[in-house]
Chains A and B, each alone.
Chain A
Amino acid sequence: MVKSFAPRIRFWTLALAILVGYGAIGYRLFELHIVEAPRLIVELESSRYRLIPLNSRRGDIFSYDLNGDRELFATSKTLLEVGIDPVAMKREDLVKLPQLSRHMGLDLARVETVFGARDGEFIGDETTRRDRWRLLSRRIEEEQYDRILELGISGLYGTRKYERVYPKNSLASHLIGLVRHDGEAVQGVEREFDFYLSGQRGWRESEVTAGQEMAQFRRRYVPPRDGMSLALSIDPYVQHQIELELMDIADKFDPETACIIVTDPYSGFILGLANYPTFDPNRYTDFDESAHKNRAMTDPIEPGSTFKIVAASAALEERLVSVDTYFDCSMPTLQMPSGYVAKLPKDWKPFGILTVEDIVAKSSNRGAAQLGVLVGSNGFYDYVRKFGFGEKTGLDVGIESRGILNPVRKWDGLTLTRMTMGHAISATPLQTHYAMAAIANGGLLMRSQVVSRILNTDSKEAVSFGPMVRRRVVSNQTARTMSELLVKTASEGGTASKAAIPGYQVGGKTGTAQKIINGRYSSQSHVGSFSGFFPASDPELVITVIVDGSHSGMPVSGGSAAVPAFKNVAEKLIPYYAITPVDQGRAYALGGGSH
């Protein structure tokens, strides 16, 4: 009986034990995977799940020098935001704080405050150190960080971030613009091409434990895309030279503002554009907000006599005059087609009979007014518009002014005679420059451009920008005739004779406009300008210099301030671009060059 009972008991006991065992495991599995699963998943996700953002690197901005080497104007480098985790701090590390403060360039007192310590001891107990992050410094260089890490301070760590660096400091700062420390592009090419430069941040879903990512639990991964790079048309040498020239102008005249623009007349690409006052984008907060303005595009001023090219070109293009047609420039009044007798503006010196050639070369206000009257208000207005006044030049480096050009219906009886001499209209230096470039290149108004290419991260060309013609302003023949007249202006007997460079056929026009102060033309404050090009038969460069006012009271005029600057810049660029002198006798017979 005992023998037969024992196995049965053993059997059922063991079977029951196994059943209960499996049952318990099964129940626990059911409980974990079904009943408690939602809560456990939430708990796990909240403690270990991390969405890790991955920063993209902002693209570079560079230009090529004559050797084809890249010259970096803006790039990104890493800086570290360094702080401490108070929970992980150790008392024995407090003796290293003096060294840490030296490496970080911070006051010891500040470092001790962040650590919550004084004289090598913590202030308060552990309950006062429950926060997990205290900032020490936002901008620590990599070399500094290496030295900091060597100290081996527990709980001290840094987070890398990209920051914009401008290796050439203030060079071309108005074109390049800037990215603020908070990462927002606020000016220049940086802002206008932010879409291409900024790239796309990536992200990764993963799990983290003890501050370390568990790579095996990575789920989704969207890689960051670095920004594209921009190739600019500006030449660092040209840019440097015009900025040096502006510094000389600033020393001599102490102007309110000044700017120099250099472009290729045939492509419209900017080779250099500088403004005074300027700023260093690396230290943008140290400079006055007004220094950040790209005045060549934002500040319209009365162009003065440089604007006479419009009246002369219009009259020649409409075949109303030839270069030899003469006008009586001694007349103080002129009867308009409407019968209104307009008082003509005075000339800078009394003139008698002048040909069209002389009107341009000697810069006669009365002569220009008579040319304008011949063309008529509507006709003249059309040419003013054609030359690009009253509209943007298209330069993509920020806010641009259209200038001020009133429609004919708002003109009074004097407007036409004043506008022909560059008053009663406001234009940005860039507009004046491109109008002159249209004469230089044979009559085409080009779009102003500074970005020549956009390159992807493999330095392959993504977008390429070529010359863009806005419109034909005058015929090639009229433009050539105007070029000849402008060469005479910059020759012996012309108002810009000091701009002449022997052998280089400089053509250009000076301008000296009275500034409007308190609603009236000032006899003390002037804007001096010169816009010219060379060699006139086959122009390689167009240069415009504008000097606005003088704090020191030094008289500013086109001839005294702008022309010498033009000549200095031209003389530096001639050897740089190896521009060959022109055989004066053959120049125009050659048919205006190879372009």
Chain B
Amino acid sequence: MSRRNIKSRTANRILNQIILYSVAMLALIGGLGMITVWLRHQTSITANHLQSIEQKIVEERRIHAQLDVELAVAMSTDRLLELNRKHKLELQEPSFTQIVHVEENVEKRLYEKSANALFTATALSGN
């Protein structure tokens, strides 16, 4: 093998290696780039998903608060009085004059009531 041929093959080998390494490096960098893009895409999807969940929570809270407001307005005294008038329900508050005060001893009355029931039950069972 001539000296020239040996030199030529060495140059080819180096050249091939450079080409090979360059291609490998491009593939590696490209791969890394692709992975980075894919990771970023996934990050974006996850972040957007989280954001939409967050917005849903905020929206639910808002609707909940809005319902509370509507309920409070619907049950306000003014509104209930207006409904009473509108539907002619004739509902009225109990007045003081409707109160009947029991003058007798309440404990005694309750005791007698309970004793009566007891004696009646005993009498019935005795029969």
Contacts and interface: CB of A to CB of B under 8 A. Distances in A.
Interface of A: 3-4, 7-8, 10-11, 14-15, 18, 57, 71-72, 75-78, 142, 160, 165, 167-169, 171, 213-216, 218, 236, 240, 501, 503, 571-572, 574-575, 581
Contacts of B65: 57, 75-78
B101 A215 contact: no
Interface of B: 4, 7-8, 11-12, 14-15, 18-19, 22, 40, 43-44, 46-48, 50-51, 61-62, 65-66, 68-69, 72-73, 76-78, 93-96, 98-99, 101
A78 B18 contact: no
A215 B47 contact: yes
B4 A7 contact: no
Contact of A18 (B4, B7, B22, B68): B22
Contacts of A11: 11, 14-15
A7 B101 contact: no
Contact of B66 (A78, A171, A216, A572): A78
Contact of A7 (B15, B50, B94, B96): B15
Contacts of B11: 7-8, 11
16 contacts: A7-B11, A72-B72, A77-B65, A167-B69, A171-B77, A171-B78, A215-B44, A216-B43, A216-B47, A218-B47, A236-B77, A501-B96, A503-B101, A571-B95, A571-B96, A575-B96
Given A75-B72, A215-B44, A575 B22 contact: no
A503 B101 CA distance: 9
Contact of A216 (B44, B73, B78, B96): B44
A168 B8 CA distance: 98
Nearest to B94: A575
A15 B22 CA distance: 10
Nearest to A570: B96
B8 A169 contact: no
Contacts of A3: 8
A168 B15 contact: no
Given A7-B12, A18-B22, A215-B44, 11 more contacts: A4-B4, A8-B11, A77-B66, A160-B62, A165-B73, A171-B76, A215-B50, A216-B44, A218-B47, A240-B77, A572-B93
Given A7-B11, A503-B101, A165 B69 contact: yes
Contacts of A216: 40, 43-44, 46-48
Nearest to B12: A7
From DSSP, what is the main secondary structure of chain B's interface residues?
A: helix
A76 B61 CA distance: 12
B44 A168 contact: no
Contacts of A78: 62, 65-66
Q: Which of B76, B93, B101 has the most CB of A within 10 A?
A: B76
Which 3 A-B pairs have CB atoms at the shortest separation, nearest pair first?
A215-B47, A571-B96, A167-B72
Contacts of A169: 76, 78
A224 to B, nearest CB: 10
Contacts of A501: 96
A581 B101 CA distance: 8
A236 B75 CA distance: 12
A232 to B, nearest CB: 14
Nearest to A6: B8
Nearest to A573: B96
Nearest to A503: B101
A11 B7 CA distance: 13
Contacts of A215: 44, 47-48, 50-51
Nearest to B9: A7
Nearest to A73: B72
B66 A214 contact: no
A482 B11 CA distance: 121
Contacts of B46: 216
Nearest to B41: A216
